[in-house]
Structures are given as C-alpha cells and as structure tokens.
Amino acid sequence: MAYLASPTRTMAVLERHGLRAQKKYGQNFLIDGHVLDHICDGARIGKNDLVLEIGPGIGTMTQYLAERAGKVIAVEIDDKLIPVLSDTLSEYDNVTVLHQDILKTDIRALYEKEGAALHFKVVANLPYYITTPIIMELLEQKLPIESITVMVQTEVAERMQAVPGTKDYGALSLAVQYYTKPEVIAEVPPTCFIPRPNVGSSVIRLTRYTDPPVVAKDEKKMFAVIRASFNQRRKTLINGLAGGGVAEKESVRQALLQMGLPEDIRGERLSVEQFARLAELI
C-alpha cells in the first residue's frame, strides 16, 4: 500500500469515504512524508516500542509508526474515521485502533494489557484546541511513558520551553519542565497540511526524567500554588495565593523571606525549584 502522505492520496481517501476535515475535532491532515520521517526519528521509535498515537486521523502517521514500532495503539474520537482507518491500515497486523476519547481512556490499563514488556511512547499530531488538557493528563497520571513526541501549535511549544521572567512562561511551562525535558525537534509550516492551518506548528519531544531534578514533597499542593500564581499574572505572588485561597498573606510573606525573595515578586519570576520550596514553606 502506498503511503498516504501526499495531497492527492489524502484527498482520494477523503473523497472515497465522503469525508472532509472536521473543525470541531481540529483536524488537519499531514501530507509531507519528510515531516513524518522526522517525527519518527525524533521520537526514536524502534521494534521494542509500544506507541500510543492520539488522533490518527486517516492513518497517515500511523503507517510510518507501524513500520518502525513493535506495536501501535491508535485512539480516535471521530466515529466517521474508524472505517477509514480499517481501510488504510488493513495491511498492518501490529496496529490496534480504538474508537475512544483519550481523556476518558484508561491508558495505564491499556499499556498493561497491550505491551507491558515494551517501552511505552506517545506520538501525536494533537488538535490545537485540546493540546494542554491532553499533555497535562499524560503527565499527571504518572504513566510509564518514556517520551511524548507531539505536533503542536508553535506558540504552545514555546510555552512548554519558556523560562522564568518571559511572557510565555506559565503553569504549562512548569508542569512540562517538572516532569520532562522538552526539546523542539522540527518546525512545520502550514503548507504541510490539508486543510492548511492559520498558524505554524512545531514538533516537540518531552523526555520523561528518570531521576527528576526537582522533587516536590506534595505535588498536588505545589501545582495548586502554581495555578493560583498564574491565574492573575499582574498580581504579586502574595496577593495571588491569598486571593486564590491557597495561603494566608502572612504565611506567603514569611516563606518568601526565608527564600530570600522580595515581597512584591510575581509568580512568573519563580523557577520550578522555587515553587517546590515555596509549597513546602507555606
């Protein structure tokens, strides 16, 4: 079977099944094989890997993953694409397609059932409207995932890598950097998709830390502090945490004093290490 990664083949599949890209699912189909090779290379996919693909679409990237991985589980929410995937992936006996919402899927049970002896990796071309919830779900569940390689809006990739004191730095930056090492491995222009999105895309690999550089004593509390710190960015850390019901002003003031930080500091200035320490002290 010929690869689907071309404008003519992609359009032929859609026309054969009487389909078009669904805006409500944020569907943009990749049509560049070089990009797909780059994604698979960047994700370091091999025969000892079980790959979870989120949103396979018509199976364009799934084909490339199936050629390299030991097993691929593709989770697709759009019921109209399930028969398409049965068609386009019929030659691959190492692919399982599930018609599910990834945010309602028991990923741990899936891994234990399908390939607990394999290395577990996630690869996806994520719909832009739901990128952050999916990333957060994958990180916070503490699944045995070695890496997450995803295509996202360039703006989101920049937020994931942002450092303290920059405009892109926020709760997503801190969560990603607490659990993983983020690294952009490719930039993808709109011309690589059908239909063309209005923004540029980036492929970012999040490699899970084996030995985390920062360990919070109470992760739930730390992330509550982080969220409250960024809910109203213009507020000082003291007012943000007090207003968010996370801590009393005096408690935050004393904690900042112990950390050698000024009372008027804002959350966007603190590193993940400092947030972990702050959560311990208040």
> How confident is the model over 61-118, as pLDDT tens digits?
999 999 999 999 999 999 999 999 999 999 999 999 999 999 999 999 999 888 777 8
Of 91, 92, 85, residue with least CA distance to 70: 92
Whether residue 199 sits in one domain with residue 83: yes
Average pLDDT, the chain: 92
Domain boundary among 208, 243, 267: 208
> Would residue 2 count as lying in a domain?
no
Write out the two tokens for 137: 């779900």
Say which DSSP state 111 is in: H
Q: How far apart are CA 4 and CA 2, in angstroms?
A: 6
Whether residue 154 sits in one domain with residue 20: yes
> Would residue 73 count as lying in a domain?
yes
> Would residue 273 count as lying in a domain?
yes
Q: How far apart are CA 120 and CA 112, in angstroms?
A: 10
Q: How far apart are CA 215 and CA 194, in angstroms?
A: 42
Say which DSSP state 197 is in: P
> Would residue 202 count as lying in a domain?
yes
Whether residue 182 sits in one domain with residue 163: yes
Looking up residue 133, the CATH number of its domain turns out to be 3.40.50.150
In this predicted structure, the answer to whether residue 36 has a pLDDT above a threshold of 80 is: yes
Domain boundary among 166, 182, 208: 208
Q: Which amino acid is at 182?
A: P
Whether residue 134 sits in one domain with residue 20: yes
Looking up residue 265, the CATH number of its domain turns out to be 1.10.8.100
Whether residue 229 sits in one domain with residue 200: no
Whether residue 234 sits in one domain with residue 183: no
pLDDT of residue 23: 62
Alpha helices in the chain (DSSP H): 7-16, 33-43, 60-68, 82-88, 107-114, 131-140, 154-161, 171-179, 219-231, 237-243, 249-259, 272-281
Whether residue 177 sits in one domain with residue 141: yes
In this prediction, residues 245-253 reach a mean pLDDT of 92
Name the range with the highest mean pLDDT among 7-21, 120-134, 257-271: 257-271
Of 75, 124, 82, residue with least CA distance to 103: 75
Count of the separate structural domains present in the chain: 2
> Would residue 45 count as lying in a domain?
yes
What contacts 220, CB < 8 A, 6 or more positions away? none
Whether residue 238 sits in one domain with residue 123: no
Q: How far apart are CA 241 and CA 228, in angstroms?
A: 6
Whether residue 187 sits in one domain with residue 115: yes
What contacts 166, CB < 8 A, 6 or more positions away? 268
> Do 237 and 255 form a contact (C-beta atoms < 8 A)?
no
> Would residue 213 count as lying in a domain?
no
Whether residue 232 sits in one domain with residue 189: no
Residue tagged 């890496």 (tokens) = 147
The DSSP bridge partners found for residue 123 are 53, 149
Question: How many CB atoms sit inside 10 A of residue 262's CB?
Answer: 10
> Would residue 196 count as lying in a domain?
yes
Whether residue 92 sits in one domain with residue 229: no
Whether residue 234 sits in one domain with residue 101: no
Q: Which amino acid is at 149?
A: T
Residue 255 structural domain:
219-281
pLDDT of residue 25: 59
> Do 205 and 149 form a contact (C-beta atoms < 8 A)?
yes
